[in-house]
Amino acid sequence: MFRFLKNIIIFSVLFLGALFLVSKAEAAIISTYPQEQNISQGENFTAEIRLDSEEEVINTIEAEIIYPKDILEVIDVSKGGSFLTLWVTDPVVKEKEGTIYFAGGIPNGSYVVNGKVLTITFHAKRTGTAEIAINKEKTGVYLNDGLGTKTNLNTITGKYKIEFPSPYTINLTSSTHPFEDTWYQTSTIIISWEERANAAYSYKLDNDSQIEPDDKTEAVVGEVTFENLKDGIYYFVIKEKLPDDDWGPITRRRFMIDQTPPQPLEYYITEDVISGKKALVFSARDLTSGIEQYQVQEGEKVYANSLSPFVLPDQSRKKVVIIRAIDKAGNVTEATIQPITSNSTSWSLIIILTVVIVVILVFLLSRFLNMQKGKNKGK
């Protein structure tokens, strides 16, 4: 009897464990990266929202991100490099609530492995522990199964410790990238700092925000140059060692490079649902910094910060239309739509030419007949 009960218990434990593993494997994971980081008060830092579909083919995701509004302030939300290509709702920041909401999709669906959804730049307003979390009640990942089935979901919260700035922080400046929250087109980074007498320095530049310098002393100090860098976000970390002292705290600075224009524009002209007028629908994708704005130019008139759909002021479409997609580094992709030549104008030209030809023929015929009459009289 005891052996029978023992077998039942063992079987139940194994069965429940298997169910747990299966359910866990089938749950999509939305996480904040990095999951932990120490930040100095007054510093700006980035946090990525990432998704792993756990071997499921998904096509839509909506999410609400929660952050402590008393500690953090949202500086920017970038869609650059996101695996989402169709945005139902662009990221909406509600400062009073301390939330960011968005909804996007992937046409035809896809597997996603540690895919970047958004990059959020925060400003650390005051000290404390800031948790950037996913509100599961307002978040959903939907399968590409024809039914839009909502899959199971696990979330991972990012925890950021905001500390008082160290008095030993190294003041870093850059002539090529003056502001760390701005995207630049130049692929060369020059970093400068004021070196102290007899001090040793160790530093590194990498795409990983969590990188730390080793304890090896660098030969070049005071100013360092990195050339021919690829597009992306880079982090420069440096620490200082004075004679007969330990290595000091790490100073971090972010650099953002985007030399590549947005991908080709997709556009078409349709009838606006509300006004019934001809409207221009357009979209583009930028893989690095994201789209900053669109411009529509009709003739000589330029409309900055244009939104799609854009109702065309010239409904006759007699003017050239140019659409420009501009990313956050100032790179531009544009497309040109040629004007339509109206049929009435074409027929008018044909009629005028016909009349002119007939008049010329009548004139020539009349002249010819007069010449023939003159010859007959001479005979």
Kindly give the residue spans of alpha helices, DSSP state H, lying in the chain.
2-25, 343-378
50 Cβ neighbours under 8 A, 6+ residues apart: 30, 31, 32, 33, 114, 115, 116, 117
Range scoring the smallest mean pLDDT among 17-31, 205-219, 356-370: 17-31
pLDDT at position 145 over 70:
yes
139 — pLDDT class (breaks 50, 70, 90)? very high
Give the rounded percent of residues in the chain with a pLDDT score beyond 70: 89
Give the H/E segment covering residue 342: none
- Domain boundaries 183-257, corresponding CATH code: 2.60.40.10
How far apart, in whole angstroms, are the C-alpha atoms of residue 345 and residue 354? 14
Give the H/E segment covering residue 264: none
pLDDT of residue 177: 98
**Mean pLDDT (whole number) for 130-137:** 96
pLDDT of residue 325: 97
Global confidence as pTM = 0.74
Nearest to 309 by CA among 338, 268, 263, 340: 268
pLDDT at position 143 over 60:
yes
pLDDT at position 201 over 90:
yes
**Mean pLDDT (whole number) for 14-27:** 47
What is the CATH topology of the domain spanning 31-163? Immunoglobulin-like (2.60.40)
97 — pLDDT class (breaks 50, 70, 90)? very high
- Quick: pLDDT tens for 49-89: 999 999 899 999 999 999 999 999 999 999 988 999 889 99
User: Hey, what amino acid is at 305?
Assistant: N
How far apart, in whole angstroms, are the C-alpha atoms of residue 1 and residue 293? 75
What is the CATH topology of the domain spanning 266-337? Immunoglobulin-like (2.60.40)
Q: What is the DSSP letter of 247?
A: B
pLDDT at position 339 over 50:
yes
Q: How far is CA 193 from CA 87, 182, 189, 224, in A?
A: 42, 20, 13, 9
pLDDT of residue 19: 41
**Mean pLDDT (whole number) for 238-242:** 95
pLDDT of residue 12: 46
Domain ranges of the chain: 31-163, 183-257, 266-337
Chain centre distance of CA 85: 10
- Quick: pLDDT tens for 149-158: 999 999 999 9
Kindly give the residue spans of alpha helices, DSSP state H, lying in 286-342.
none
pLDDT at position 16 over 60:
no
**Mean pLDDT (whole number) for 258-280:** 92
pLDDT of residue 186: 97
313 — pLDDT class (breaks 50, 70, 90)? very high
